[in-house]
A = this chain, B = another copy of it.
Amino acid sequence: MKLSQSEENYIKSIYNLQSKTEKVNTNSLAAFLDTSAASITDMLKKLKSKNLLEYKKYYGFRLNGAGNKQALKIIRRHRLWEFFLVSKLDMEWEKVHDIAEELEHVSSAELIEKLDRYLGNPKIDPHGDPIPDEKGVMPVLKQIALKDLPHKRNAVISSVSSQTPQMMEMLNHYGIKIGSPIKVLKSFVFDGSLQVKIAKQPECIISGLAAQNIFVYDT
């Protein structure tokens, strides 16, 4: 089934909202997509007629199995392109989302499978979000605090607990970015500080408090 760019954007947005609330409602989707509620209703009818959506008038809606599968396909494309833009073209991870928003609609299956192979079948995008595989299965990644990461384990920065300017300043200084590969070399019992190696950076020391608030995927 060939979907329009618009239909794909709606499906992806519904998927995202669904992961936060059971049933999605018209206004929240309208707000999310920055369109009118009337447009949402119009599209809901269309997606329902294409059997991608469970939809009961006035009572909210959800993607059904087929809809979810579609959403995961689009998310896969989006995140693979983001990974490409950052890892190969050396773009900054804050900038890649908008471009991936367009690239995700290029629909060749062969393209995406070859891109995936070329990138080394990455499991996490530059924002720390998991990349569904070719069957639409999200990899299960266990997230742990950096302080609990065993030594010498290859891990990837997945998130930080608070996005305050103070935290960002420090992360910036250390060259820590979501998606950066990281490895713990040594830990100091005295204050819980860690000596770590972050990809592309010289080795450095991170305080125990920071190590509690930085999370990684143990890969």
Q: Within 8 Å of chain B (Cβ to Cβ): is A110?
A: yes
**Per-residue CB proximity of A83-110 to B under 8 Å, as 1/0?**
0010011110001001100110111101
* A90 adjacent to B107 (CB under 8 Å): no
Nearest Cβ on chain B to A97's Cβ, whole angstroms: 11
Residue of B nearest to A114 (CB): B89
Q: Which of A71-91 touch B at CB < 8 Å?
A: 85, 88-91
State how many residues of chain A have any CB contact under 8 Å with chain B.
Answer: 19
Residue of B nearest to A106 (CB): B102
Q: Within 8 Å of chain B (Cβ to Cβ): is A111?
A: yes
Q: A106 and B111 in contact (CB under 8 A), knowing A88-B118, A89-B118, A118-B88? A: no
* B103 adjacent to A91 (CB under 8 Å): no
Q: Within 8 Å of chain B (Cβ to Cβ): is A40?
A: no
Give the chain B neighbours of A211 by CB distance below 8 A. none
Question: Contact partner of A110 among B91, B105, B107, B110, CB < 8 A?
Answer: B91
Question: Contact partner of A91 among B89, B90, B98, B114, CB < 8 A?
Answer: B114
Bound state CA distance, A152 and B32, in angstroms? 53
Q: Within 8 Å of chain B (Cβ to Cβ): is A115?
A: yes
Give the chain B neighbours of A105 by CB distance below 8 A. 102
Give the chain B neighbours of A111 by CB distance below 8 A. 85, 89, 91, 99
* B95 adjacent to A110 (CB under 8 Å): yes
Residue of B nearest to A108 (CB): B99
Give the chain B neighbours of A114 by CB distance below 8 A. 85, 89-91
Give the chain B neighbours of A88 by CB distance below 8 A. 118
17 more CB-based (< 8 A) A-B contacts, given A98-B108, A99-B106: A85-B114, A88-B118, A89-B114, A89-B115, A89-B118, A90-B114, A90-B118, A91-B110, A91-B111, A91-B114, A95-B110, A99-B108, A99-B111, A102-B105, A102-B108, A103-B106, A106-B106
